[in-house]
A and B are shown apart, each in its own frame.
Chain A
Amino acid sequence: MSEQRDLIVDTAERLFGDLVDKAMLDSAERGDWQQGLHASLVENGFHELGSAGSGTGADELFAFLEVAGQHAAPLPLADTLIANAWLGTIEGASGIGEVDGDVVRDVPWGRAVRRVVGITQGSREVVVITAPEVVRQGANMAGEPRDDIALTADAQRLQVPVDPGHWLALSRVALMAGGLRSALAQAIRYATEREQFGRPISKFQAIQHTLAVMAAEVAAAGRAADAAVSAVGSEREEAELAAAKSRCGEAVAVVAEAAHQVHGAIGFTHEHRLHHTTRRLWAWRDEFGNEVAWQRKLGAIVVAQGADGVWDFVTSGR
């Protein structure tokens, strides 16, 4: 199981490493659909991760999304994999947003995907739209397309076997865990290359401590994300997810800020790659419930145990 996950992660690392570059990120930000990248992923079967019959499950799906987050892969991959896992695999991409009256809001790449899924928090019924009609084009603060799609009368209504809101929030957790690792790696690389006062800035203790603090946050976010993924489908699903969405969001606040500080002015340019990571981190922490929204949910779970049940609650997370 875990060997398979490692293999998927390694293959994905290589593929994204080879294909996702600054030019592609800029092109995607201008709104160009990255069909080449999508086709490569389909060719390698990544779009089926977690689908029935693929021999993989949530563990592999979210592990793959972590790598996608690390590379800021400019496609609606969370949506595509999750929709395939819930509803059956198609070759085209999917986008998932929340139903709001007669539209599905903020659908990633709604303008380009073949299938749009609308979810409602707390419900297992989803709507599926196979000929999406864009009513408003928009983008999140990372410039990733987030479009509103018309909820038409012919949309199918289907039950899915999981809590859709949980899966979407967890996808952002996985993306954040990967993005955080990338922000740290970029900052470390830059600090060892950039010289001032006659030496690499990584030799200054202030910079070393900044990077150490980032590393601790990244490790925490990674461990929290992993705990949430392994709790999928268990009675701890909501609690572990809540902890992870909160903890990863808090890590973003520290890590994105520090990554920019270490990079100096160059990291503030559009030319530099760092912002493709940091802007996504800032966007993802807000999507499908920000830190406070999930802290309240977790708080309610904890308070319901009563003061003398708190410790048992903490330790029954395996």
Chain B
Amino acid sequence: MSSLKLDRVGLPESSEALRTEVRGFLEANRDSLPHPNSDFSSGHDPEFSAKLGAQGWIGMTWPKAYGGGERTFFDRYVVTEELLAAGAPVSAHWIADRQSGPLLLRFGSEAQRAEYLPAIARGESYFSIGMSEPNTGSDLASVRTAARKVDGGWVINGTKIWTTDAHRNHFMITLVRTEPGSERHAGLSQLIVDLRNDGAQVRPIRNMSGGEDFNEVVFVDVFVPDDRVVGEPGNGWQQVTSELAYERSGPERFLSAFRVFVELVRAVGDNPTDSELAAVGRIAAQLMTLRRMSVSVAGMLEAGKEVAVEAALVKELGNNFEKLMPDMARLAASDRRSSAFRRCYEETMLLSPSFTLRGGTREILRGVIARGLGLR
């Protein structure tokens, strides 16, 4: 059973120095900010991503040989939290930096690393995640999209859905069944699909807040060459699950609604009532605690510890926080008229249903935690 004890980890002095640099950069790029909310997936801005790449703030922990910075997880933590809190548009490079790059580093071929990683680190190459399908949500092992072996490569047929930014990004790492007749965890592989050139049909799906961020991606006999298989064919399940651990404990799991808190404090102003103070304090207490938990997990990752359960704890609490906080803020600000607050609240509220779905639903995470407790 996991001890559930989060180590007493603080960010080192050197990372704090980096914070000043990031704030200076953000100040100098005020024009790109703030995006009215701090949701990591709602501002796609290639120009901004390229600027971050030029700063060395993408692929920060990767080897220099692949364009990385060989920096610590703490440094990466500081950069990502500063960007999110400022409402910076980070969606373009986000998945490539957080997930696809590390996946390729770990399982990709030498040629793949050399081809894809430097461009990601420059902030010029963007990736999507092709896991979910119309009939495959939480039960990821039920994927049906299949790739048939042909001379020199694979031919894909099937449909992926909810694929964030597939209509804007360059590549999608796609989980497909490569062994005919295989079931569940066996016979799965990850293929790199070139979204702009391979012929997959990408159709944006409008979400309830009016945005068009996720997509349906349809494959009709789409050919992908052999050199775009990530890792060994058939090893897809192991790869895809290792990918999820990175996905769960970062600051994007509790900061999506942060700007609402800022606007609440602004609306409350210099003459707060006792109940407004209590609401601000309550939110601050939860936020401060979540951030410490999340930094602890970053530290445990840095120390090479196994953190799957701890990461799930952070996501569980963090998603609930970012989902419920706009509502706490709304009630707290009842007596204040502030158009900035309303705008930020409404925008975040309309995105909030997704917070406990994307990256593993609340129910699935609770199952992960329960397993960590030795109950399953």
**B370 contacts A212, C-beta separation under 8 Å:** yes
Enumerate chain B residues within 8 angstroms of A208, measured Cβ to Cβ. 366-367, 370, 373, 375-376
Flag the segment in A158-166, A263-271, A310-318 that touches B.
A310-318
**A215 contacts B284, C-beta separation under 8 Å:** no
From the candidates A205, A222, A242, A308, name the one contacting B6 in the complex (CB within 8 A). Answer: A222
Per-residue interface assignment for chain A, residues 1 to 15, with 1 indicating a CB less than 8 Å from any chain B CB and 0 otherwise: 010000000000000
From the candidates A207, A213, A223, name the one contacting B289 in the complex (CB within 8 A). Answer: A223
**A215 contacts B373, C-beta separation under 8 Å:** yes
Interface: B337 (CB within 8 A):
no
Name 21 interchain pairs, CB-CB below 8 A, sorted by A: A192-B374, A208-B376, A209-B370, A212-B369, A213-B366, A215-B372, A216-B317, A219-B293, A224-B289, A242-B281, A243-B284, A250-B282, A295-B280, A295-B281, A296-B281, A299-B276, A300-B272, A303-B277, A307-B263, A311-B86, A314-B288
Enumerate chain A residues within 8 angstroms of B363, measured Cβ to Cβ. 209
Enumerate chain B residues within 8 angstroms of A278, measured Cβ to Cβ. none
Q: A211-B373, A224-B292, A243-B289 are in contact. Are A294 and B366 (CB under 8 A)?
A: no
**A227 contacts B289, C-beta separation under 8 Å:** yes
Enumerate chain A residues within 8 angstroms of B276, measured Cβ to Cβ. 299
Enumerate chain A residues within 8 angstroms of B313, measured Cβ to Cβ. 215-216, 219
Within 8 A of B (CB), among A278-318: 291-292, 294-303, 305-308, 310-311, 314-315, 317-318
**B285 contacts A295, C-beta separation under 8 Å:** yes
What is the minimal beta-carbon distance from A318 to any residue of chain B, in angstroms?
Answer: 4
What is the minimal beta-carbon distance from B314 to any residue of chain A, in angstroms?
Answer: 9
From the candidates B8, B16, B262, B286, name the one contacting A310 in the complex (CB within 8 A). Answer: B262
Enumerate chain B residues within 8 angstroms of A308, measured Cβ to Cβ. 262
What is the minimal beta-carbon distance from B261 to any residue of chain A, in angstroms?
Answer: 7
Q: A191-B375, A211-B370 are in contact. Are A298 and B292 (CB under 8 A)?
A: no
Q: How far is it, in angstroms, between the C-alpha of A73 and the C-alpha of B322 when the chains are bound?
A: 37
Q: A296-B278, A299-B277, A299-B278 are in contact. Are A307 and B375 (CB under 8 A)?
A: no
Residue of B nearest to A295 (CB): B281
What is the minimal beta-carbon distance from A257 to any residue of chain B, in angstroms?
Answer: 16
From the candidates B10, B278, B291, name the one contacting A314 in the complex (CB within 8 A). Answer: B291
Interface: B296 (CB within 8 A):
yes
**B366 contacts A212, C-beta separation under 8 Å:** yes
Q: A303-B277, A317-B292 are in contact. Are A223 and B6 (CB under 8 A)?
A: yes
Within 8 A of A (CB), among B351-376: 363, 365-367, 369-370, 372-376
Q: How far is it, in angstroms, between the C-alpha of A213 and the C-alpha of B362 when the chains are bound?
A: 10
**A212 contacts B8, C-beta separation under 8 Å:** no
**A295 contacts B8, C-beta separation under 8 Å:** no
- Contacts A227-B292, A295-B281 known; list 18 others, CB within 8 Å: A188-B375, A205-B367, A209-B370, A212-B366, A219-B4, A219-B313, A219-B317, A223-B289, A226-B6, A226-B8, A243-B284, A247-B285, A294-B285, A299-B276, A300-B272, A307-B265, A314-B287, A318-B16
Interface: A42 (CB within 8 A):
no
Enumerate chain A residues within 8 angstroms of B289, measured Cβ to Cβ. 220, 223-224, 227, 243-244, 247
Within 8 A of A (CB), among B257-316: 258, 261-263, 265-266, 268, 270, 272, 274, 276-282, 284-293, 296, 310, 313, 316
**B265 contacts A306, C-beta separation under 8 Å:** yes
**A223 contacts B293, C-beta separation under 8 Å:** yes
Interface: A246 (CB within 8 A):
yes
Q: How far is it, in angstroms, between the C-alpha of A251 and the C-alpha of B238 when the chains are bound?
A: 35
Interface: B5 (CB within 8 A):
yes
Enumerate chain A residues within 8 angstroms of B268, measured Cβ to Cβ. 303
Among B11, B274, B369, the most chain A Cβ lie within 10 Å of the Cβ of: B369
Enumerate chain A residues within 8 angstroms of B147, measured Cβ to Cβ. none
What is the minimal beta-carbon distance from A216 to any residue of chain B, in angstroms?
Answer: 5
Enumerate chain A residues within 8 angstroms of B266, measured Cβ to Cβ. 306-307
Interface: A218 (CB within 8 A):
yes
